[in-house]
Amino acid sequence: MFLIVGIAPKTKILDHTPRICPACGLAQARLKRVDSYFNLFFIPLIRVKKGETVIICDRCESVSSEMSSPYYAPQAGKNLKCNSCGGPLDGKFRYCPHCGKPVILKIS
Ligand SMILES: [Zn+2]
Ligand SMILES: [Zn+2]
């Protein structure tokens, strides 16, 4: 009798909320973590390595790091200021409601 053992990756979906994929622009990317598991008879038994949290697109399968996703940019919109007039922004605006200039997001 043979023991079939090995290390295999196992993808875990951490958050089912779709994110915008930076590669194809569709909201088909999900927050996932690829862990390495010690397998016995193809059954993942022990997690040997905790993988990095990445965003993997279901559609184009492109992998991006969590922080590079544009999904997170508007979320950081607490202390945003317009870099033209300094007026407060809540991160939803593409144009400043105070001076009308296009918003370049900058966290102060
Ligand atoms: Zn994609
Ligand atoms: Zn402004």
Closest ligand to C-alpha of residue 25 is 1
What's the CA-to-centroid distance between 16 and ligand 1, angstroms? Answer: 15
Q: Of all residues in the chain, what percent carry a pLDDT higher than 90?
A: 31
What's the CA-to-centroid distance between 81 and ligand 1, angstroms? Answer: 30
Q: How far is 47 from 12, CA to CA, in rounded Å?
A: 12
pTM here?
A: 0.53
Residue 108 has pLDDT above 60, yes or no: no
Closest ligand to C-alpha of residue 95 is 2
Q: What is the CA radius of gyration of the chain?
A: 20
Q: Which two tokens stand for residue 105?
A: 């997001």
Q: How confident is the model at residue 93 (pLDDT cuts 50, 70, 90)?
A: low
Q: Which two tokens stand for residue 29?
A: 């990317």
What's the CA-to-centroid distance between 96 and ligand 2, angstroms? Answer: 5
